Amino acid sequence: MFSRPTIPQDSLQEFSAQILPCVLLKTQTDKNFIATIAKRAVSAISEATPTHTTCRELLSGVQNKSLQLGEFSIENVSILTRRAEPSFFDQSEEAANLLRVVAQVIESKKPRLVKHATPILQTCLKQMPDFAARLAHALADPEESKQDDQRV
């Protein structure tokens, strides 16, 4: 009878950029009810809007000092990458950032985080035909990467 209104993708990205960092931090609050609702909201955003903006905010949570927040964030990055369109992996800078953070997670040797990083790399391997070159580019010195981009 009633149809759901469609929300423009730009509006969702703006929403993610402004609200997601705050909600992500609320997942670690002492109030269990608030943390539970915040976790549901972040998971729903990860599934519903697998965009670069959402990924960027989740990756900031992965790099947080809190192991619990890092694990929750990388778990949602894994969900996001599985649900993302193939075009998600086309943008070189955003994909490079994703690969860089996942590589840092693997280097950290924190088992709770590494177990979620492996599926992300498997998804990237399937979606990126030039995976090895892009991974090497992502792990290169940032100054060298900028020089390489300027040459092209």
Give a three-class secondary structure readout of the chain: CCCCCCCCHHHHHHHHHHHHHHHHHHCCCCCHHHHHHHHHHHHHHHHHCCCHHHHHHHHHHHCCCCHHHHHHHHHHHHHHHHHCCHHHHCCHHHHHHHHHHHHHHHHHCCHHHHHHHHHHHHHHHHHCCCHHHHHHHHHCCHHHHHHHHHHC
Judging by beta carbons within 10 Å of its beta carbon (0-12, 13-18, 19+), is residue 117 exposed, middle or buried?
A: buried
Q: How confident is the model at residue 147 (pLDDT cuts 50, 70, 90)?
A: very low
- For the chain, what percent of residues have pLDDT higher than 70? 83
pLDDT of 82 strictly over 70:
yes
pLDDT of residue 120: 92
Helices (H) and strands (E) in the chain, counts: 8, 0
The rounded mean pLDDT for the chain is 82
